[in-house]
Homo-oligomer: A and B are copies of this chain.
Amino acid sequence: MEKWRRTERITVITKYILDRPNELISLNNFTELFQAAKSSISEDISIVRDVFQQFGFGRIETLAGAGGGMIYFPQISGKNRDDFLKEVAFKIANPNRILPGGFLYMTDIIFDARTAQKVGEIFAQHFAAMEPQYVVTIETKGIPLALMTAKALNRPLVIIRDGSRVTEGSAVSLNYVTGSSRQIRTMSLSRRALPIESRVVIVDDFMKAGGTAKGMVELLLEFKSEVLGIGVLIDTKTPEKKLVEEYYSLLKLEEVNEEKKQILIEPYLVK
């Protein structure tokens, strides 16, 4: 007789999987925990896998071979993704968000943990197949999105410091020119933070001309990193030509009109 009922096992398995995205999970964890036969656990997992697929929670891949295992890839269906981005765009388009100088107040949105998590899962879904080893961002506003991307990819987060004030041993610093306001700034990364020759993706909240992203790519070159992709929550319509060749953006900011109190922002939809 088995000690745990299927409903109980399924609750535990669901929680366990959700805590470990992009990680190979051995079936033995569960056969031992529940003192159950491998066939029972396999059936449990089939049920969870099918539900995850039907409800758009993500993809669970089961693997045969020594003991058997599975990997959970968080995914958002195209429709859920698009609905979510429309909702974020709608929130950002509130004219009360216009700050002097045509800036937009949106830290409340990008610092919201659930929003950040969903954005992170969208980025993770996009980048997973590239098999990055690290997720890189620059302080400060990109951190929540990058952390949630790192969580969904099950990879470490690396934060480039703004300025040269690094208390983390020897560091590489780089002067760069912000593309839009043409200011000279410095960014730094501790030597210890990233092994050389790593495969990385960059995540940030905003791209105007792309000067910061270009700076990050150059700094990462000093670490002989391979930058597999760049993800930003928002890019701007102008300047049309960015300083980096390719990137993946979720929302396009077309215009902030201080006079008319109007913000035009559109999601890049997949459906």
Contacts and interface: CB of A to CB of B under 8 A. Distances in A.
Contact of A12 (B55, B100, B117, B159): B55
A107 B159 contact: yes
A256 interface: no
A100 B169 contact: yes
Contacts of A148: 113
A151 B99 contact: no
A197 interface: no
A19 B58 CA distance: 14
Nearest to A106: B168
Contact of A169 (B105, B143, B169): B105
Contacts of A19: 114
A14 B157 CA distance: 28
Contacts of A42: none
A49 B123 CA distance: 32
Interface stretch (A2-10, A221-229, A233-241): A2-10
A151 B114 contact: yes
A114 B161 CA distance: 22
A246 B14 CA distance: 38
A156 B11 contact: no
Contacts of A108: 156, 192-193
Contact of A107 (B8, B113, B193): B193
Interface centre among A11, A15, A18, A117 (most CB of B within 10 A): A11
Interface string A146-166: 011011000011110100000
Nearest to A117: B151
A247 interface: no
B57 A111 contact: no
B18 A111 contact: no
Contacts of A254: none
Nearest to A169: B99
Interface of A: 6-8, 10-12, 14-15, 18-19, 47-48, 50-52, 55, 57, 99-101, 103, 105, 107-108, 111-114, 116-117, 139-140, 143-144, 147-148, 150-151, 156-159, 161, 167-169, 190, 192-193
28 contacts: A7-B7, A7-B10, A7-B47, A8-B51, A10-B14, A11-B14, A11-B52, A14-B14, A15-B55, A18-B18, A99-B168, A100-B169, A101-B167, A105-B169, A107-B159, A111-B150, A111-B156, A111-B158, A112-B156, A112-B157, A113-B147, A113-B148, A114-B151, A116-B147, A139-B140, A140-B161, A143-B144, A143-B147
